[in-house]
Amino acid sequence: MLISTDDYVGDMSNHPDKGISSIQYNYLNLPKQIIQDSNITQYIYRADGVKVKKLFKSLETDYLDRLQYKSTFGIESWNGEVFINLILMKFLN
C-alpha cells in the first residue's frame, strides 16, 4: 500500500495509488497543477476561486457559468466542441 503525503497546511502533495506524483496549489489552496503518470493537468481560476480553464495534453477546456467549451489544438488542425450542462438544457426546453 502506497501512502500519500501532505504539505504543511494539510494539502495532499502526491497520491501514489492513483499515479499522481505531484500536486501544486495556488494561493487560494486550489489545485494548480497535477502530474499523473507523466501527464500534466493545469487549472486556472478567477480571483474568487471559480475554475475558468483546464489544460490537459492538447485539450483545453474553458468554463463559463454552466457551459464547458472544449477545444483541441493540433499542429495542422483545430477542432472545437461545445458541451452544455444538462441542467441548463432543461431550462432551454
**So what's the pLDDT on residue 75?**
44
Confidence at 68, pLDDT banded by 50, 70, 90: confident
**So what's the pLDDT on residue 26?**
93
Over residues 46-72, the mean pLDDT reads 89
**So what's the pLDDT on residue 1?**
61
Give this prediction's pTM. 0.72
Q: What is the 3-state secondary structure (H, E, C) of the chain?
A: CCCCCECCCCCECCEHHHCEEEEEECCCCCEEEEEECCEEEEEEECCCCCEEEEEECCEEEEEECCEEEEEEECCCCEEEEEEECHHHHHHHC
